C-alpha cells in the first residue's frame, strides 16, 4: 500500500523533472508512511522522498526503541532531529550524498520562514515549489481506504439512529452535539469534526457554530444535524434533517424538492464526466423549483481530511474518476427563518456510478 503510494509520487516527480520532495504536511506524511504525530499543527515531522530512498525526520518523543514502521513501509530511513543536528543539517548531508540539485517543497504548506531557511542554507540546491502533487494522488482511494471510509459511515449511521431517539422538547443544540461525541467516544471512536447541530433560524447559517449556539427544540422545530466519524484516520460526513412535530406544508414541500435534487444528482453522476456539471445540474433542479441557490459547493472530497479533492463546485476543474470519495450536499437557506441540507458520502465505483455509503434514511424524520 505505502510503497504503491510512494511510487505514484516518484512518477509525478519524474514527470516534472524534480530530484526530490520535502513533505511537511501532516496528512501527506501520514498517507505516505503511516507515521503520525500528536498534532497536525506543530512541525514535529518531515519526510524527504528521493529517487531511491525515503527519509523520515522527527524527534525522540515519537521514536522509541520499540518503534516500528508499518510492514509495507519498505525502505524508510529515520533521521533523529536533535539540538546538535537539526533538519537542515540532515538535509544538507543527504542532498550532497545523493547529488540532488532540485529540492521540491509543498508550496501550500511550507511556511515562508522555512522556505527562507532552506534557500539561505542549502546553497547548491534549488528549492522548487510544487502544487497539489500528493493531495491529487490522495484523491483516488485504494481499497483499504474505501473500507475505512465505509466503516466510518456505518458507525455514523448507527450513532444517528441512537441519538435521534434522545431528542425531546427543549433539548439544546449543544446537548445533541455532546451526545453524538459521547456515543462515539464510549465505543472507542472519534469525531471527524465538531458536529453542527442547528435548530430553526440557526439552521439557515450554512456553517453554523454550535459551540456558540443557544438554540433548543420547540414544537414545530426544524433540526439540522451535520457530523462525521473518524475510523483508522479516515472520515465520513453526513447531514440529515429532523422535524419535531408535523412540519408545515411549505416546510415539507421545501424538503421534498431538496431531497429530490440531491438524489437525482447522485443518480445522474453516472452521466457526468465533469464534476462541475454535477454541481450545475443540482443547482438547476433546486432553483427551477423557485428555491434559493445555496452559497457553498455541492460537494467535496472526503478521506484523511474532511475537505479534500475532488471538488464538486461551479468552477471545479475535477473530473469524475473511479474510486473517488466525495459528498453531495445541496442546501436551501432562508435567513432568519430556517435552512435545510441533505448530505451523503458517496464512492465512484463500477461503471463510474456513485454508491451511497451513508445509509441513514432520508424520508422525513418526524419526532
**What pLDDT score was predicted for residue 1?**
86
**What pLDDT score was predicted for residue 59?**
87
Closest CA to 345 of 223, 229, 222, 183: 229
Omega cis (within 30) before 310: yes
Domains, the chain: 2-138 (3.40.350.10), 143-366 (3.90.230.10)
Closest CA to 236 of 249, 247, 221, 226: 226
**What pLDDT score was predicted for residue 66?**
54
Q: Which residues contact 105 (CB under 8 A, 6 or more apart)?
A: 21, 22, 24, 115, 118, 127, 128, 129, 130
Q: Which three cell numbers stand for residue 136?
A: 491529487
Q: Which three cell numbers stand for residue 72?
A: 509495507
Average confidence (pLDDT) per 10 residues, the chain, 367 residues = 92 94 96 90 93 91 63 75 91 93 95 92 91 96 97 98 97 98 98 98 96 95 98 98 97 98 98 97 97 97 98 97 98 98 97 97 96
Apex 181 CA angle, 176 and 183, nearest 5: 90
**What pLDDT score was predicted for residue 67?**
58
Q: Is 190 exposed, middle or buried (0-12, 13-18, 19+ CB in 10 A)?
A: middle
Write phi, then psi, for 99 (nearest 5 degrees): 55, 45
Write phi, then psi, for 203 (nearest 5 degrees): -70, -10
H helix and E strand count, the chain: 9, 20
Q: Which three cell numbers stand for residue 268?
A: 445522474
With cell 515519537, the residue in question is 62
Crossing angle of helices 143-163 and 173-186, in 10° steps, is 130
Please say whether the beta carbons of 103 and 127 come within 8 A. Answer: yes
**What pLDDT score was predicted for residue 72?**
55
**What pLDDT score was predicted for residue 60?**
83
**What pLDDT score was predicted for residue 301?**
98
Amino acid at each position: 500500500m505505502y510503497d504503491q503510494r510512494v511510487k505514484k509520487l516518484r512518477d509525478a516527480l519524474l514527470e516534472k523533472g524534480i530530484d526530490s520532495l520535502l513533505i511537511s504536511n501532516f496528512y501527506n506524511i501520514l498517507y505516505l508512511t503511516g507515521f503520525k504525530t500528536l498534532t497536525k499543527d506543530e512541525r514535529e515531522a518531515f519526510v524527504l522522498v528521493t529517487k531511491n530512498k525515503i527519509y523520515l525526520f522527527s524527534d525522540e518523543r515519537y521514536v522509541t526503541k520499540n518503534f516500528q514502521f508499518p510492514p509495507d513501509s519498505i525502505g524508510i530511513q529515520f533521521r533523529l532531529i536533535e539540538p546538535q543536528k537539526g533538519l537542515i543539517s540532515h538535509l544538507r548531508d543527504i542532498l550532497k550524498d545523493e547529488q540532488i540539485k532540485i529540492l521540491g517543497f509543498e508550496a501550500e504548506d511550507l511556511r515562508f520562514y522555512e522556505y527562507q531557511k532552506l534557500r539561505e542554507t542549502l546553497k547548491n540546491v534549488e528549492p522548487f515549489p510544487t502544487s497539489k502533487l500528493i493531495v491529487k494522488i490522495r484523491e483516488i482511494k485504494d481499497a483499504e481506504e474505501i473500507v475505512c471510509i465505509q466503516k466510518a459511515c456505518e458507525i455514523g449511521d448507527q450513532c444517528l439512529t441512537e441519538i435521534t431517539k434522545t431528542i425531546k422538547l427543549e433539548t439544546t443544540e449543544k446537548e445533541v452535539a455532546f451526545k453524538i461525541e459521547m456515543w462515539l467516544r464510549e465505543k472507542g471512536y472519534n469525531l471527524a469534526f465538531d458536529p453542527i447541530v442547528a435548530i430553526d433560524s440557526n439552521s439557515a447559517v450554512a456553517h453554523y457554530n454550535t459551540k456558540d449556539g443557544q438554540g433548543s427544540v420547540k414544537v414545530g422545530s426544524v433540526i439540522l444535524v451535520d457530523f462525521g466519524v473518524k475510523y483508522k484516520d479516515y472520515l465520513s460526513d453526513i447531514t440529515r434533517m429532523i422535524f419535531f412535530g408535523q412540519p408545515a406544508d411549505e416546510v415539507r414541500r421545501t424538503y421534498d424538492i431538496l431531497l429530490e435534487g440531491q438524489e437525482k444528482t447522485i443518480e445522474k453522476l453516472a452521466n457526468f464526466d465533469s464534476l462541475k456539471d454535477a454541481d450545475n445540474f443540482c443547482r438547476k433542479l433546486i432553483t427551477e423549483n423557485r428555491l434559493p441557490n445555496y452559497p457553498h459547493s455541492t460537494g467535496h472530497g472526503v478521506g484523511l481530511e474532511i475537505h479534500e479533492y475532488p471538488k464538486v463546485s461551479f468552477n471545479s476543474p475535477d473530473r469524475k474518476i473511479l474510486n473517488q470519495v466525495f459528498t453531495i450536499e445541496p442546501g436551501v437557506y432562508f435567513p432568519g427563518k430556517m435552512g435545510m441540507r441533505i448530505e451523503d458520502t458517496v464512492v465512484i465505483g463500477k461503471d463510474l456510478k456513485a454508491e451511497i455509503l451513508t445509509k441513514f434514511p432520508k424520508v422525513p424524520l418526524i419526532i
